[in-house]
Structure 1
Amino acid sequence: MSSEPTHAHWLVLGASGFVGSAVVAELRGRGLKVATLAAPRLNSVATTAQALADQARLFTSPGRSTSAADYAALLQAFDGVDVVVNAAGLAAPGDAESPALTGANAFLPAVIALAARAAGVKRLVHLSSASVQGHRRVIDETSVRAPFSAYSRSKTLGEEVLEVLAGDTVAAVDPDSTVVTIRATSVQGPSRSTTLSLAKIAASPLASVASPGTAPTPVSSIDSLAWFVVEAGAFAGHVPALVLQPWEGLTVTDVLAAAGGQAPMVIPAWLCRPILASGYFVSGLLGERLHGSLRRVELMWLGQEQTPGWAEEVGLVPPSAIRPLLERVSLTL
């Protein structure tokens, strides 16, 4: 557990959302002081991290009447805050490219980072997604990224623009201020639509895994993610700029058995890969419309391994909560 004093003041952006509400509940359950703030709705047509950084600097510069109110609200809310958690954004794996998607998942984090720096916030925790590494067989905490959809590209830009801003010479104004990006994995929750869909598939004849069915899966629980976000934000020592949500220990077979109450069918791995490749090809012709659904099937069949990272090194691995969560969901169907 962290050694952060209990008088630390936290603020969560996106507190009404799936992840944000869980983080707020975790903080309040620990008796910590937490405020919430609705994030401004921003748009951007930028396609590179450098362009986003330039846009954010302009947005936060003095005399910008079009953005003054939004930026002033952030500065006022951040005043006296020790840790800001950015859980805002658009969780839209099936959406197409849009200024709103880029604005929420890439431009907004940049503006928040500049506001946090100006307000003297000690730590900003930004929620990203392991989807930025795409179809890699092993995900990790490196800056290697391979986005495959509009959503994962927007989250990639969000990570990259924070790296650009971290390199600013003006960062020396407050050397104690740090930005930590957490890559959340395939997070499930009792009321989340994707979790309910997973449970329905797991209980149906469609429940299947690629042979031999022992591949590790990044499927994780919202409770464990919220715990980890608070621990990373409160950690008294150095936290790397990029960390991965810890693995909760399940295989692809474990997930479907817990969510559906039955053993899944095992199909040849050599058959799964061409089916997925064909599906992604067709989806590409349709403007990536099916990429989100195909990615869920890919994770169900093949899973994805994780390289142990900072959390394992410092002992901040939460108790695995995903199996009982999926078993509870299965009972509601």
Structure 2
Amino acid sequence: MTASSWRVLGATGFVGSAITTALQTKNIAVTPVSTPRLASPATTVHHVIEHAHRLESVIDYLADSFAGADIVVNAAGLAAPDQTHQQSLTGANALLPVLVALAAHRTGVRRVIHISSASVQGDAPVLDESIRTAPFSAYSLSKALGESALYRLRADWEDQPHAPHITVLRATSVMGSGRRTTRLLAKFASSVFSSVAGDGTAPTPVTSVKALAQFAVAAGEFPEPLPAVILQPWEGATTGSVLRDAGHRHPLQLPPFLCRAVIDAGYWVSRLANNRFNGAIRRLEVTWFGQRQVPGWAHENGVIPEPNVQEVLRQAHLSLGK
């Protein structure tokens, strides 16, 4: 796609601002769209879509904002893995994507890219590009619900030639300058507690926001139809390399059976607290054990962004002043 016009929701946020910058660097016309604040009690795909259809004024606002656009990127949402207020999470991460799709359909937008999260697949041994999800927290549940609602719309519109093509782009564990998650990782990696399960060679889906932005732009410009789900490509990080880059020290190599016992105990305690700590425990689990991912659509089509995660992590360590 050439000479296209883009709209980006969440353009002032962590991911959205990076995508906007990547578009501007390529001299692609892009306009930010303010994101409505939403909440929803919906718990099923049917109820999310039903709720969205009742919000006619919001659809009108978004449709007006999308006028003349070819591509819409929804990088908005509530990135709060530890939050437990389900209605706020559902509004931001499930209801909003449906409203964006409905407005894009009304306006004649050609392509909608929804930025989701690989966390929707939980502790799957290998992240893939199937629509299968296994949410483990309030946050991942809201993201999975948003994905499922978009798949429903995509299927419903399959025979409509002028309907937008909807694609879910699953971001992995994205790091970037100034992000709280990145600072916390650097602090952990710089401490005496820095550790991995085993020898630290397990691949881990820790990536950079710059690479995510480049990938989103490349996907938007791709001249052929996109699949329902595409996964942010792996940047070559391992559990050991992430901690060495972020902490400038070699992590302890702990026995995997001991690490697994700690993680299992953590989930047991979290269940007693209504799964309140699942997000934090899952982050530790990925830090210790990593998680593999399929090469997927990006490798099949040669759409591979430039790796940047090593630089981001090393800068995060330097920013600690250690």
TM-score, normalization by structure 2? 0.97
**Equivalent residue in structure 1 for 2:66, among 67, 71, 78:** 78
**1:156, 1:285 → 2: CA distance?**
24
**2:54, 2:255 → 1: CA distance?**
54
**1:97, 1:145 → 2: CA distance?**
21
Q: How does 1:211-226 map to 2 (within 5 A)?
A: 211-226=198-213
CA RMSD of aligned residues (A): 1.2
**1:249, 1:132 → 2: CA distance?**
21
For residues 204-226 of structure 1, give each alpha carbon's deviation from its aligned partner in whole angstroms, at most 9, with x where no partner exists: 11100000211100000000000
**1:84, 1:172 → 2: CA distance?**
21
Report the equivalent of 2:255.
268
Q: Secondary structure at the match of 1:187?
A: strand
Displacement after TM superposition at 1:164 (Å): 1.1
**Equivalent residue in structure 2 for 1:113, among 93, 97, 101:** 101
For residues 221-259 of structure 1, give each alpha carbon's deviation from its aligned partner in whole angstroms, at most 9, with x where no partner exists: 000000001111111112111010000011100000000
For residues 55-84 of structure 1, give each alpha carbon's deviation from its aligned partner in whole angstroms, at most 9, with x where no partner exists: 223334xxxxxxx2x222111111110000
Report the equivalent of 2:127.
139
**1:40, 1:173 → 2: CA distance?**
28
**2:137, 2:203 → 1: CA distance?**
23
**Equivalent residue in structure 2 for 1:52, among 37, 43, 48:** 48
1:244 aligns with 2:240: no
The answer to whether the 8 A contact 1:96-1:287 is kept is no
Displacement after TM superposition at 1:329 (Å): 1.3
Give percent identity, aligned residues only.
Answer: 47
Q: How does 1:20-169 map to 2 (within 5 A)?
A: 20-60=16-56, 68=57, 70-168=58-156
The answer to whether the 8 A contact 1:120-1:174 is kept is no
Q: Letter of the aligned partner of 1:301 in structure 2?
A: W
**2:70, 2:174 → 1: CA distance?**
26
Displacement after TM superposition at 1:280 (Å): 1.2
The answer to whether the 8 A contact 1:50-1:164 is kept is no
**1:213, 1:137 → 2: CA distance?**
17
Report the equivalent of 1:257.
244
Segments of 5+ residues of structure 1 without an aligned counterpart are 61-67
**1:36, 1:226 → 2: CA distance?**
15
**2:306, 2:279 → 1: CA distance?**
29
Q: Letter of the aligned partner of 2:134 in structure 1?
A: A
For residues 122-143 of structure 1, give each alpha carbon's deviation from its aligned partner in whole angstroms, at most 9, with x where no partner exists: 0000000000000111110011
For residues 3-32 of structure 1, give each alpha carbon's deviation from its aligned partner in whole angstroms, at most 9, with x where no partner exists: x21x21000001111000110111111111
**1:168, 1:319 → 2: CA distance?**
36
For residues 276-313 of structure 1, give each alpha carbon's deviation from its aligned partner in whole angstroms, at most 9, with x where no partner exists: 01101111222322222212111110000001100000
Please identify runs of 4+ aligned residues in structure 1 that moved more than 3 A. Answer: 171-176
**2:275, 2:160 → 1: CA distance?**
43
Displacement after TM superposition at 1:175 (Å): 4.1
The answer to whether the 8 A contact 1:96-1:288 is kept is no
Report the equivalent of 1:65.
none
Segments of 5+ residues of structure 2 without an aligned counterpart are none
1:13 aligns with 2:1: no
**2:149, 2:209 → 1: CA distance?**
26
**2:83, 2:161 → 1: CA distance?**
38
